[in-house]
Amino acid sequence: MNGLIQQDFPKGADFDQVADEEIAAVERKLNMRPRKRLGDRAPTEVFCEGLHWQEAASGGAAVIG
Protein backbone atom coordinates (compact mmCIF):
# COMPACT_ATOMS: atom_id res chain seq x y z
CA MET A 1 0.00 0.00 0.00
CA ASN A 2 2.84 2.42 0.76
CA GLY A 3 4.03 2.14 -2.83
CA LEU A 4 0.59 3.12 -4.09
CA ILE A 5 0.48 6.13 -1.78
CA GLN A 6 3.98 7.15 -2.88
CA GLN A 7 2.75 7.39 -6.47
CA ASP A 8 0.90 10.53 -5.36
CA PHE A 9 2.96 11.62 -2.33
CA PRO A 10 6.73 11.07 -2.37
CA LYS A 11 8.39 9.39 0.58
CA GLY A 12 8.89 11.91 3.36
CA ALA A 13 6.09 14.18 2.17
CA ASP A 14 4.93 16.68 4.78
CA PHE A 15 1.22 15.99 5.06
CA ASP A 16 0.75 19.18 7.02
CA GLN A 17 1.38 20.92 3.69
CA VAL A 18 -1.12 18.81 1.71
CA ALA A 19 -4.74 19.94 1.43
CA ASP A 20 -7.35 17.65 2.98
CA GLU A 21 -9.15 17.59 -0.38
CA GLU A 22 -6.04 16.23 -2.11
CA ILE A 23 -5.65 13.47 0.49
CA ALA A 24 -9.35 12.60 0.15
CA ALA A 25 -8.99 12.38 -3.65
CA VAL A 26 -6.08 9.93 -3.35
CA GLU A 27 -8.02 7.96 -0.73
CA ARG A 28 -11.01 7.68 -3.10
CA LYS A 29 -8.75 6.64 -5.98
CA LEU A 30 -7.13 3.88 -3.92
CA ASN A 31 -10.44 2.64 -2.52
CA MET A 32 -11.91 2.40 -6.03
CA ARG A 33 -8.91 0.49 -7.42
CA PRO A 34 -9.68 -3.22 -7.95
CA ARG A 35 -7.53 -5.63 -5.91
CA LYS A 36 -6.58 -9.14 -6.98
CA ARG A 37 -6.95 -10.43 -3.41
CA LEU A 38 -10.55 -9.15 -3.38
CA GLY A 39 -11.45 -11.05 -6.54
CA ASP A 40 -10.76 -7.99 -8.72
CA ARG A 41 -13.28 -5.95 -6.72
CA ALA A 42 -12.57 -2.55 -5.21
CA PRO A 43 -12.34 -2.16 -1.41
CA THR A 44 -15.27 0.26 -1.53
CA GLU A 45 -17.38 -2.36 -3.31
CA VAL A 46 -16.54 -5.02 -0.71
CA PHE A 47 -17.24 -2.59 2.14
CA CYS A 48 -20.65 -1.65 0.72
CA GLU A 49 -21.55 -5.32 0.26
CA GLY A 50 -20.68 -5.86 3.93
CA LEU A 51 -22.91 -2.97 4.98
CA HIS A 52 -25.78 -4.34 2.91
CA TRP A 53 -25.37 -7.80 4.50
CA GLN A 54 -25.23 -6.36 8.03
CA GLU A 55 -28.26 -4.16 7.32
CA ALA A 56 -30.28 -7.16 6.19
CA ALA A 57 -29.12 -9.26 9.16
CA SER A 58 -30.02 -6.53 11.66
CA GLY A 59 -33.54 -6.02 10.33
CA GLY A 60 -32.89 -2.83 8.39
CA ALA A 61 -30.53 -0.83 10.62
CA ALA A 62 -27.00 -0.42 9.27
CA VAL A 63 -24.41 -1.82 11.65
CA ILE A 64 -20.79 -0.71 11.41
CA GLY A 65 -18.03 -2.32 13.40
pLDDT (tens digit per residue) in 6-65 = 899 999 999 999 999 999 999 999 999 999 999 999 999 999 888 776 666 666 655 555
Is 65 inside any structural domain? no
Instruction: Please give the residue range of the domain that contains residue 15.
Output: 2-57
Answer for the pair 29, 18: CB distance below 8 angstroms, yes or no: no
Residue 18 pLDDT: 94
Residue 49 pLDDT: 86
Is 64 inside any structural domain? no
Residue 4 pLDDT: 87
Split into its structural domains, the chain has a count of 1
Whole-prediction pTM: 0.67
Eight-state DSSP code of residue 33? S
